[in-house]
Chains A and B, each alone.
Chain A
């Protein structure tokens, strides 16, 4: 019998090799990646401990059979089966979204290898070796983050991510050693527990916080969101950070002292609150969509940490549900950023003024509001379940979660107002007053959906203006006349497939919002495998 663990790692690796060889034909490359993910999803969708006999094959596949590498055991356990399946679904969705929305020529091949490494990290025992898998994934993800960009200081995001993961590696390794050394301790003796497992707890929390981007506060999230292609950022957050969350659930499951001690849960809750404050305080005031994305990621991670701090069945369900909705929301929002970058070589609000691209606005609006947990989006369902899992007892924490989410929403709406409200270059050349007469007010209101947009539109329509006369190729931004240097960089931005992907992504989010029950069984199945909660 072939162990399924071997296939879970090797199928994406073979897929990565094929995708790399076929990268010139993007449709085939994406097809290979989607097939590889679908293969693993089909495998993991089988019941635990099942044995699969392929028709015509001499050997079968055993789902929970162990596979040994360098003395370490890899196995698809019941607890990780659904987690890995969720990661593969997220990755497949993001790979498909990147069709015709070029995210760098190495996105798909390296993404598949990172996916294999994340799965390996969840399957390997002892846990400390997961850190080595994450280190390998980070080294490869650095190439994905950098893509084909060049120039001085262009490598900051990749370097920050690699540095944070490298610093976390020894913490996990030493935590493993500290756990082995601690021996058996009475779980009811708090003093003995703290003395024996205190260092291990601190090291695990430190390593986890560094890898997931929680400590230090301003570490890799902002530089990566700014430097990397948007879907690459979405992939790292959805797959790598998702795998880290599930790894922490495995810690809860395997180490009773970690739960009983209470230090880890407190640290996670404090980390979550701090991230919510930080992300929420910054999100509304950002001046670029990538920065709003970074703040939204901080809020998402903060929310995940809050949920993780509660070791309950509801918390696992909320985490599993959030993993999928986060991937979709980030992916759709990322497609909107990609489209704006393709159009204006930038996603700064000042640069995208007057872009008036409905497809970009649709992706940014739906994806962004879902990230903000706006009612009527899957993000709202995710936030709602997170709030239930966190518990209504901590009203301040819930209020903070709400305020941080609203702040992300304000950031998104400010960006959308910039996209629609400011006069575009061609119209300005004819005169400021004329420019407003041709502005698509209905589209603005539809896309932005806020009273602020209407008020702003009315203000812009004022016939009295002191704006200087602009020449062709000049833009007026906050009173300054700037030469228009923004040229379309990807000719494929208007391709049918790219628009189709945005449409499908938005449709998927809407369907999930209307019918969250589609993924609820998966979340429940994930939660059913864990037994650590009372």
Chain B
């Protein structure tokens, strides 16, 4: 464990640009693509980047909680999404893997293009906000990361209607707020409580993902 924390610390002290690029790319993909098989691995990478950025302002042993909590949440969400896909497949509806293997090129470009244009606008707004309204107490890179995640999180919450995607938007919002708030109060208590909030929201989203796919009833039948 100590070696992991040491590695985490070293990575955190390394150059920040790749972390920012990783955050922007992952947030952009989550906002544009609505396929959990692509999106959830991106979220895991995003949590790692958020953890590394947090390690620049708080103890790495505390910052490592964020990627750990994020990984657990993404794992739970992937199981829920998989169950949801099984239920959809039983009903003869299209599932994530099929959509990835055989994209509907007649419908896809319009949706993707619209989301991509809005994502670029959010990206620009985040850069602008970082310069015009720098966050108190935070280094500029943390401010940019926070604005990126908050902007993309709000975009997803406002545009998505499936529980999984709205939930990912909420989780992204939470990460963004954590990046903005942790430099103001770099305490273990806040980090632990925010990590706990991430876990609880993740659990709720996993349940709602099952319900959204109509898989909750099946779960209930199995249990009974």
B189 x A162 contact (CB < 8 A): no
Q: How far is the CB of A228 from chain B (nearest CB, A)?
A: 12
Give every chain A residue within 8 A of B214 (Cβ-Cβ). 150-152
Q: A129-B193, A132-B197, A169-B197 are in contact. Are A155 and B211 (CB under 8 A)?
A: yes
Q: Mark A164-198, 1 if CB is under 8 A from B, else 0.
A: 00110110011001000000000000000000000
B211 x A70 contact (CB < 8 A): no
Give every chain B residue within 8 A of A174 (Cβ-Cβ). 181, 184
B197 x A177 contact (CB < 8 A): no
Q: A151-B214, A154-B211, A155-B208 are in contact. Are A135 and B200 (CB under 8 A)?
A: yes
Q: How far is the CB of A124 from chain B (nearest CB, A)?
A: 10
Give every chain A residue within 8 A of B194 (Cβ-Cβ). 132
**When the two chains form the complex, which single residue of B163, B184, B187, B211 contacts A149, counting CB atoms closer than 8 Å?**
B211
B208 x A166 contact (CB < 8 A): no
Q: How far is the CB of A287 from chain B (nearest CB, A)?
A: 24
Q: Mark A289-325, 1 if CB is under 8 A from B, else 0.
A: 0000000000000000000000000000000000000
Q: Complex Cα distance A326/B187, Å?
A: 39
- A interface secondary structure, majority: helix
Q: Complex Cα distance A142/B212, Å?
A: 13
Q: A129-B193, A146-B208, A150-B215 are in contact. Are A170 and B180 (CB under 8 A)?
A: yes
Within 8 A of A (CB), among B177-204: 177, 180-181, 184-185, 187-189, 192-194, 196-197, 200-201, 203-204
Give every chain B residue within 8 A of A159 (Cβ-Cβ). 163, 166-167, 208
Beta-carbon nearest neighbor of B188 in chain A: A70
Give every chain A residue within 8 A of B208 (Cβ-Cβ). 142, 146, 155, 158-159
Give every chain A residue within 8 A of B207 (Cβ-Cβ). 142-143, 146
A170 x B212 contact (CB < 8 A): no
A139 x B197 contact (CB < 8 A): yes
Q: How far is the CB of B74 from chain A (nearest CB, A)?
A: 16
Q: Mark B198-224, 1 if CB is under 8 A from A, else 0.
A: 001101110110111111110010000
A149 x B216 contact (CB < 8 A): yes
Q: Complex Cα distance A167/B154, Å?
A: 9
* A456 interfacial by beta-carbon distance below 8 Å: no
B212 x A154 contact (CB < 8 A): yes
Beta-carbon nearest neighbor of B181 in chain A: A173
Q: Complex Cα distance A269/B207, Å?
A: 38
* A431 interfacial by beta-carbon distance below 8 Å: no
Beta-carbon nearest neighbor of B196 in chain A: A136
Q: Complex Cα distance A153/B160, Å?
A: 11
Q: Complex Cα distance A132/B197, Å?
A: 7
Q: A146-B208, A166-B174 are in contact. Are A72 and B200 (CB under 8 A)?
A: no
* A71 interfacial by beta-carbon distance below 8 Å: yes
**When the two chains form the complex, which single residue of B189, B196, B204, B210 contacts A142, counting CB atoms closer than 8 Å?**
B204
* B157 interfacial by beta-carbon distance below 8 Å: yes
Q: Complex Cα distance A163/B153, Å?
A: 11
Give every chain B residue within 8 A of A136 (Cβ-Cβ). 196-197, 200
B212 x A71 contact (CB < 8 A): no
* A148 interfacial by beta-carbon distance below 8 Å: yes
* B69 interfacial by beta-carbon distance below 8 Å: no
A170 x B197 contact (CB < 8 A): no
Give every chain B residue within 8 A of A132 (Cβ-Cβ). 193-194, 196-197
Q: A136-B196, A166-B173, A173-B181 are in contact. Are A71 and B163 (CB under 8 A)?
A: no
* B44 interfacial by beta-carbon distance below 8 Å: no
* B29 interfacial by beta-carbon distance below 8 Å: no
Q: A173-B177, A177-B184 are in contact. Are A150 and B204 (CB under 8 A)?
A: no
A153 x B166 contact (CB < 8 A): no
Beta-carbon nearest neighbor of A181 in chain B: B136
* B170 interfacial by beta-carbon distance below 8 Å: yes
* A140 interfacial by beta-carbon distance below 8 Å: yes
Give every chain B residue within 8 A of A70 (Cβ-Cβ). 188-189, 192-193
Q: Complex Cα distance A22/B213, Å?
A: 28
Q: Complex Cα distance A177/B137, Å?
A: 11
Q: Complex Cα distance A409/B180, Å?
A: 47
Give the interface centre of A71, A142, A155, A166 by most chain B CB atoms within 10 Å. A155
Q: Complex Cα distance A333/B184, Å?
A: 46
Q: Complex Cα distance A129/B180, Å?
A: 16
Give every chain A residue within 8 A of B215 (Cβ-Cβ). 150
B212 x A152 contact (CB < 8 A): yes
Q: Complex Cα distance A320/B177, Å?
A: 34
A71 x B197 contact (CB < 8 A): no
Give every chain A residue within 8 A of B180 (Cβ-Cβ). 170
Give every chain B residue within 8 A of A173 (Cβ-Cβ). 177, 181
Give the interface centre of A72, A132, A150, A174 by most chain B CB atoms within 10 Å. A150
A177 x B163 contact (CB < 8 A): no
Give every chain A residue within 8 A of B188 (Cβ-Cβ). 70-71
B200 x A150 contact (CB < 8 A): no
A170 x B177 contact (CB < 8 A): yes
A170 x B193 contact (CB < 8 A): no
Q: Complex Cα distance A167/B166, Å?
A: 13
B185 x A148 contact (CB < 8 A): no
Q: A139-B201, A155-B208, A166-B201 are in contact. Are A148 and B193 (CB under 8 A)?
A: no
Q: How far is the CB of B5 from chain A (nearest CB, A)?
A: 20
B189 x A139 contact (CB < 8 A): no
Q: How far is the CB of A149 from chain B (nearest CB, A)?
A: 6
Give every chain B residue within 8 A of A167 (Cβ-Cβ). 173
Beta-carbon nearest neighbor of A166 in chain B: B170
Give every chain A residue within 8 A of B157 (Cβ-Cβ). 163
Give every chain B residue within 8 A of A140 (Cβ-Cβ). 200, 204
Give every chain A residue within 8 A of B170 (Cβ-Cβ). 162-163, 166
Q: Other than the known A70-B188, A154-B212, A170-B177, what 12 A-B pairs have Cβ atoms closer than 8 Å?
A: A132-B194, A132-B196, A140-B204, A146-B211, A150-B211, A150-B212, A150-B214, A155-B211, A162-B201, A173-B177, A174-B184, A177-B136
22 A-B pairs (CB sep. < 8 Å): A135-B197, A135-B200, A136-B200, A139-B197, A142-B207, A146-B207, A146-B211, A148-B220, A150-B217, A152-B212, A154-B212, A155-B211, A155-B212, A159-B167, A162-B204, A166-B170, A166-B174, A169-B174, A169-B177, A170-B181, A174-B181, A177-B181
Q: B residues touching A (Cβ–Cβ < 8 Å)?
A: 136, 157, 161, 163, 166-167, 170, 173-174, 177, 180-181, 184-185, 187-189, 192-194, 196-197, 200-201, 203-205, 207-208, 210-217, 220
